[in-house]
Amino acid sequence: MGELAITGGPKAAATLEVPEWPQLNDSSRQYVEAVLESGNWCRNSDGADACDRLEAAFADYHDAEHAIAVSNGTVAIELALRACGVQPGDEVIVPSYSFIASASAIPTVGAVPRFVDTNVETYNIDLEHLEERITDRTVGILGVHFAGYPMDMDRLLPIIEEHDLFLIEDAAHAQGSEWCGEKVGTFGDFGTFSFQETKSLSSGEGGIIVTDDDVLADRARLMHNIGRRQGATGYYHYRLSTNARLSELQAALALGQLETLEAENQTRERNEEILLAELADIEGIQTKPRDERITARGYCIENFRYDSAAFDGLPRETFIEALQAEGVPVGEGYEMPLYRQPAFYREEVGRLVPDDVDLPNYPTRHLPGVEELCETNITYPHEVLLAEEDGIRSVADAIRKIQANTETLLD
């Protein structure tokens, strides 16, 4: 296998040329220039149409009735919660492994997060233990299609219906993912998406909400526009809310990116199949299960689990350093479960929820699945899957090289 790159040898993944991200395509450039020249940079400007066009195209792509473009993915979740009628002191169930916005949005609207464990194989909400987290104060579930791998909607939706809960799908990672031929984000009351720079559809910052419910859409649209009717004249405000509008420039940028999303996702999915086949015979590397009900994948990051025992006890941190040296951009992902974050200490959450709410002592919780993931996860960005095929195969070569030379790293 040769000498490890971390000790001076050649890189095993020298052929892995990861494209820069984000990438500016011709359509995005054209649409942004048109908005710049128009002078209509705010969606409330007379003649502005970029946000309208983005909403129509995004709704059509998801076969959804409504889409509302907003300032970012975090605000998208907050608006969805408010539009679903969440009240101070209500409880909302959320997975324990995700970007913090999935959970922090809940106390931001005055509600209490109830963390459920994470399935170590899929990285999604643990449906085996979901129902035991439901109480008489639970009003909804905020589920995450983590890394673009869809939640098991066949199991989740009956639970939602049985307990009369709302469902918000956090699909920030999952632009283009499908479950049984239907785009994720369209199964629940709302689907929320992010256009942040690292996402596969990016406008630097931004987000969007989709729903098929006319009433919910009307609420969300009012709330994103300081309580004003979109397109109405005069200063009539019907709800107390905030300004969560996306700018016309960001909408134009996202609209162009949407045009190339499907082709890019197909490339990512094709390359992931190649990589999974290469990783399958490497002991100690555990990838996500294949599920024929997942009919298309969107991506933001991708993950696999690392078993140090198969690498002679080599610590994960050392494995990551060695793999990076070989030319593969990987990391450990989230360092801790969400409930261990200082932001969820009682004194912090207590500032946002009613005084009479008996808050859990979140940091003392023990959920074995998510805690295992925080110790074993390896993550890499979606743009790795846009590399050429020989570079994709070299990722597995780099891992095999490390596995064959663990004694060098353990000395």
Q: What residues are annotated to the active site?
A: 99, 170, 173, 196, 199, 228, 235, 245
| 4 CB neighbour count, 10 Å cutoff | 22
Q: E strands, 204-350, where?
A: 207-211, 285-286, 294-296, 301-306
Side by side, the strands of the sheet bearing 138-144 are 66-70, 207-211, 190-194, 166-170, 138-144, 91-95, 112-116
Q: Using alpha carbons, select from 332, 193, 179, 175 the residue that is nearest to residue 268.
A: 175
| Matching residue, tokens 């419910």 | 213
Angle between the N-to-C axes of helices 214-224 and 73-83, in degrees from 0 to 180, rounded to the nearest 10:
130
Rounded distance between C-alpha atoms, residue 199 and residue 208, angstroms: 13
Strand 178-179 vs strand 182-183: parallel, antiparallel, or unpaired? antiparallel
Rounded distance between C-alpha atoms, residue 112 and residue 124, angstroms: 20
